[in-house]
C-alpha cells in the first residue's frame, strides 16, 4: 500500500513539475542540502532507510555491490553524517523521506 502511495505522490510531483516548467528530477530535492541527491541516490536512500543491506539494494536496483557502496558514501557525504543510520534519520528529519 505504501509503495502505491509513494508512486502516486511521485507522479503528482512530476506532473506539477512539468506544468511549472521545473525538470521532474529536481522538483523534490530540498534546498536544505548544499548538494542535492540524484534520483538514484534517492532510490538508494529509500532502501537504506528500510534497513536493506548493500547486497539487497544491489539486487533490487540491478547494480553492483561496489556501485551501491559508492552511492551510500555519497549520500552520507551530502547529508553530512557519519553513517547510514544517521543518513536515514537526517533524511527523515529534513522531510526527504516520510516515516
Q: Domain limits of the chain?
A: 1-27, 31-99
Percent share of the chain, pLDDT over 70: 67
Q: 27 with 16: CB under 8 angstroms?
A: yes
Residue pLDDT, tens place only, 31-44: 667 888 999 999 99
pTM of the model: 0.68
* C-alpha dihedral (52, 57, 59, 63), degrees to nearest 10: -170
CA dist 79 and 63 (Å) reads 22
Residue spans of the chain under pLDDT 50: 1-14, 16-28
Architecture of domain 31-99: Orthogonal Bundle (1.10)
Report in angstroms the alpha-carbon separations of 16 from 58, 70, 96: 31, 31, 18
Amino acid at each position: 500500500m505504501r509503495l502505491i502511495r509513494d508512486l502516486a505522490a511521485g507522479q503528482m510531483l512530476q506532473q506539477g513539475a512539468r506544468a511549472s516548467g521545473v525538470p521532474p528530477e529536481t522538483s523534490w530535492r530540498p534546498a536544505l542540502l548544499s548538494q542535492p541527491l540524484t534520483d538514484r541516490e534517492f532510490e538508494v536512500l529509500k532502501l537504506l532507510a528500510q534497513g536493506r543491506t548493500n547486497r539487497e539494494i544491489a539486487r533490487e536496483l540491478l547494480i553492483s555491490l561496489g556501485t551501491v557502496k559508492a552511492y551510500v558514501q555519497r549520500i552520507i557525504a551530502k547529508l553530512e553524517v557519519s553513517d547510514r543510520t544517521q543518513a536515514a534519520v537526517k533524511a527523515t528529519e529534513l522531510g526527504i523521506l516520510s516515516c
